[in-house]
């Protein structure tokens, strides 16, 4: 018998998938046709969280649902206006609300038409504007501290009077921060050197992934996604401190695209009820249910 290794259970299961015995016989008689297709691959679940890929070598745990973010509304021009104002208070770059809204809707539309990535929109997503940066003598750590973290401090403390922003790496970032190979973060940096960049920032689609797992799974994610680092997270914090740093029950944000000082250290943001901290961490292989790396979508050029 050609298919002698088939069990009775497997035969029954296949008949059930075909719709039963009558349907299977109709196929054999040529009365109906059968088309076999590969199943649709899903990269993100119904909540916008990355589905861990098979064979992932580094630690992942289930997210703690008590640590959550709230999606801001983008229904009116006023919704875009308040976020643009926050940006312009900290960074140069003349632009219109209509442009910000138009660029955002284009990015959202691109994701909606992408079957692999559309579920990302079921999670929290934040339209952000990334300012142009100097291309000459660029040093990531220097610009992160002098331009972006200083803006985070002003924006956060203005949003929450009485709270403080603490940079525990102050004075230790210049010439000590580098981009992780395979993170694709250099794409963002190069585009920012050329001009203003519009993007969708996803702050917690990798909640429960260790830093190393976040980096590892980039090899199987579409090239249109960039692993989050410090510039994008800082800009998002400037524009959305009420969302990202509401209180302790917001997730921590691993800046997994970055190395600090050595290959076994990275950086992160963590909000508390009375403050926001920027610090370094060394347990890159440990998975925490209340921390997440970010993902960035720039769309087509």
4 and 121 in a single domain? The answer is no
Q: What is the pLDDT of residue 133?
A: 94
Number of domains within the chain? 2
Sheet holding 275-281, edge to edge: 164-167, 275-281, 266-271, 252-254, 291-293
86 and 178 in a single domain? The answer is yes
188 within 8 A of 128, measured Cβ to Cβ:
no
191 and 104 in a single domain? The answer is yes
278 and 164 in a single domain? The answer is yes
Alpha-carbon gap, residue 73 to 50, rounded angstroms: 23
147 and 4 in a single domain? The answer is no
Please, which pLDDT band fits residue 8 given cuts at 50, 70 and 90?
low
127 and 17 in a single domain? The answer is no
- Picking from 124, 152, 164, the residue whose alpha carbon sits closest to that of residue 275 is 164
Domain extent for 22: 1-36
Does pLDDT of 37 surpass 80?
Answer: no
Alpha-carbon gap, residue 43 to 40, rounded angstroms: 10
Does pLDDT of 83 surpass 60?
Answer: yes
* First vs last C-alpha separation in the chain: 57
Q: What is the largest CA-CA distance in the chain?
A: 79
Joined tokens for residue 255: 């800046």
Using DSSP, state whether 244 is helix, strand or coil.
helix
Does pLDDT of 40 surpass 70?
Answer: no
Q: What is the dihedral of CA 210, 212, 215, 217, to 10 degrees?
A: -70
22 and 103 in a single domain? The answer is no
Mean pLDDT of 8-25: 77
Alpha-carbon gap, residue 51 to 109, rounded angstroms: 22
248 and 128 in a single domain? The answer is yes
Q: What is the pLDDT of residue 4?
A: 67
Does pLDDT of 16 surpass 80?
Answer: no
Task: Read off the pLDDT of residues 203-249 as tens digits, 9 standing for 90 and up.
Answer: 999 999 999 999 999 999 999 999 999 999 999 999 999 999 999 99
- Within a domain: residue 222? yes
Does pLDDT of 10 surpass 80?
Answer: no
């Amino acid at each position: 018998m050609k298919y002698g290794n088939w069990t009775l259970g497997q035969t029954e299961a296949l008949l059930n998938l075909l719709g039963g015995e009558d349907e299977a016989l109709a196929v054999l008689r040529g009365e109906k046709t059968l088309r076999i297709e590969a199943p649709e691959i899903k990269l993100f679940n119904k909540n916008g969280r990355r589905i861990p890929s098979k064979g992932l070598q580094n630690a992942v745990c289930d997210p703690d649902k008590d640590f959550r973010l709230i999606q801001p509304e983008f229904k009116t021009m006023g919704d875009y206006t308040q976020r643009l104002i926050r940006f312009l208070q900290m960074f140069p770059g003349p632009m219109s609300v209509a442009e910000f809204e138009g660029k955002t809707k284009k990015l959202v539309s691109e994701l909606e038409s992408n079957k692999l990535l559309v579920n990302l929109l079921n999670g929290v997503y934040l339209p952000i504007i990334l300012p142009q940066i100097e291309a000459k003598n660029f040093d990531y750590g220097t610009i992160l501290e002098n331009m972006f973290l200083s803006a985070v401090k002003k924006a956060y403390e203005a949003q929450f009077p009485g709270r403080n922003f603490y940079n525990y790496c102050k004075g230790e970032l210049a010439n000590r921060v580098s981009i992780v190979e395979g993170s694709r973060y250099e794409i963002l940096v190069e585009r920012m050197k050329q001009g203003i960049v519009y993007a969708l920032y996803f702050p917690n689609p990798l909640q429960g992934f260790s830093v190393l797992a976040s980096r590892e799974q980039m090899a199987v994610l579409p090239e249109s996604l960039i692993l989050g680092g410090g510039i994008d997270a800082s800009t998002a914090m400037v524009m959305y401190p009420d969302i990202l740093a509401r209180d302790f029950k917001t997730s921590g944000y691993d800046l997994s695209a970055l190395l600090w000082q050595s290959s076994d250290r990275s950086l992160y943001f963590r909000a508390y009820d009375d403050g926001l901290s920027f610090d370094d961490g060394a347990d890159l292989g440990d998975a925490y249910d209340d921390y997440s790396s970010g993902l960035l979508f720039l769309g087509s050029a």
